[in-house]
Structure 1
Amino acid sequence: MVRVRMTGRERREQLISVGRTAFAELGFDGTSVEELASRAGVSKPVVYEHFGGKEGLYAVIIDREMLSLENLVMDALGTGSWRQMIEQAAIALLTYVEEETDGFLILVRDYKPGTERSYSTLLNAFVEKVSDTLATAFESRGLDAQLAVLYAQGLVGALSMTAQWWLDEREPAKEVVAAHIVNLCWNGLAGMQARPKLGEE
């Protein structure tokens, strides 16, 4: 049987796919260049040639996952009412967890210093987007727009932490989880007080 030689681009994509699986299974520290080469069926120099080592491969994978997740959630937050945006964002994030599990695992569990962006910087971008939307809505309702960032942190934090929990649980179904997140967030926003105080019934 004749082996078909891959083009440089095809080999690069193969190594990215192999690396994504390996980093998700073994973590950054547990993945060696030897492991990557073995899984790809190549010699170690091939990995170095394309990425300069596992750090370069890892950085490319992180960048791709970040962009993919950012586009999904930002699109979800782009249109609709407050409630629709919360629903869309919840489903988008949970769908990413469900369909791109390896990518999400790498983003939330195995961040390494030295990469330009991290999951936390991505969450900050989501907070900024939600904050801008809430600020406009707050002004129209006579609420303090400067507090929008505080509420945005709470909303994004609730969604992110629930998604990380669901990564391991996978029960109940993502639609049920999303509905409960929306229930908490929307009913909280709908009955929001201008000057809430602790200890009030």
Structure 2
Amino acid sequence: MTATRPATPPRRTRLSRDQRAEQLLDVAERLFADQGFEGTSMEDVARAAGVTRPVVYDHHATKEDLFYSCVRRARRELEDRLDALQPSGQVDALADVLECGGDAFFGILERDPRRWAVLFNPSSALAEPLARRLEDLRAGTIERIAAVARRFAPDADPDRLGAYAHAISGVGEQLGRWWLTRPDVPRQQVVAYYRDFVVSGLTRARG
């Protein structure tokens, strides 16, 4: 009788540094969304990622840095989509571009509510330095919104546009919170609400 050779264990695929960085952010984002900032440790991230703690610390010196990187990555996706919006020359270009921006935002929320939770619902108990860094990220997103608005209202008062950019951001965040309680509402309807709220205000800003 021929002896059965023991099965060869599957070989682990070694990730590049960039691939490992993305994996750690994916894992951390999920844990932060499920367990909150306080309830998540670097050990938790290492264990869930299947690596040792030194690997995690090699990419992020502290848990605060890791959380910041998660939020920065999530915001970058939205900001890249905002930067791609350009005037089309149509009469309703303003409504179109705002609808596209709203669709990008709510599309991210619909695809991955966990990411939205990390992005817009950080713990109120965050240390002040981290809270300031996160607020700087939020301010950067608002400036991107203002830049889009300036393409359509170049002669508008800068302070007024800045104020409306904050309002636009706030409308999106609050509608997002509402939508999470009403998942039966189609995304297209939520985007329409967003467009109607924002266009009416920004049209007045154009003077």
The normalised TM-score by structure 1 is 0.76
Residue in structure 2 matched with residue 29 of structure 1 by the alignment: 38
Q: Compute the displacement of 1:70 (Å).
A: 0.9
Alignment correspondent of 2:4: none
The residue that corresponds to 1:124 in the other structure is 142
Report the Cα distance in structure 1 between the residues aligned to 2:56 and 2:192, rounded to whole angstroms: 44
Tell me if 1:136 matches 2:151: no
Per-residue deviation, 1:86: 1.6
Q: Deviations over 1:91-123 (max 9, x none)?
A: 111001112322221111116443444453144
Tell me which of 1, 4, 11 is aligned to 2:12.
4
Aligned residues: 188
Q: Whole-Å Cα distance in 1 between the matches of residues 65 and 160 of structure 2?
A: 40
* Coordinate RMSD, CA, aligned: 3.0
Structure 1 residue aligned with 2:191: 178
Matches within 5 A, 1:144-163: 147-163=160-176
Tell me: CA distance 1:58–1:186, structure 2 relative to 1, closer, same or farther (3 Å): closer
Q: Name the aligned partner's letter for residue 136 of structure 1.
A: P
The 2-side partners of 1:26 and 1:151 are apart by 34
The letter of the residue matching 1:173 is: P
Contact map agreement 2:29 2:114 (CA 8 A) in 1: yes
Aligned counterpart for 2:83 among listed residues 74, 90, 115: 74
Q: Tell me if structure 2 keeps the 8 A contact 1:86–1:182.
A: yes
Structure 1 unaligned residues grouped into runs of 5+: 139-143, 196-201
| SS at structure 2 position matched to 1:71 | helix
Q: How many percent of aligned residue pairs carry the same amino acid?
A: 25
Distance 2:181 2:109 in 1: 10
**Could you tell me how far 1:134 is from its partner in structure 2?**
5.1
In the aligned structure 1, how far is the partner of 2:71 from the partner of 2:34? 15
Alignment of 1:96-115 (within 5 A): 96-110=108-122, 112=126, 113-115=128-130
Larger relative contact order (CA 8 Å, sep ≥ 6): 2
Which of 106, 129, 141 does residue 94 from structure 1 map onto?
106
Contact 2:146 / 2:162 at 8 angstroms: preserved in 1? yes
User: Does the C-alpha gap of structure 1 residues 57 and 173 become closer, same or farther in structure 2, counting only changes over 3 Å?
Assistant: same
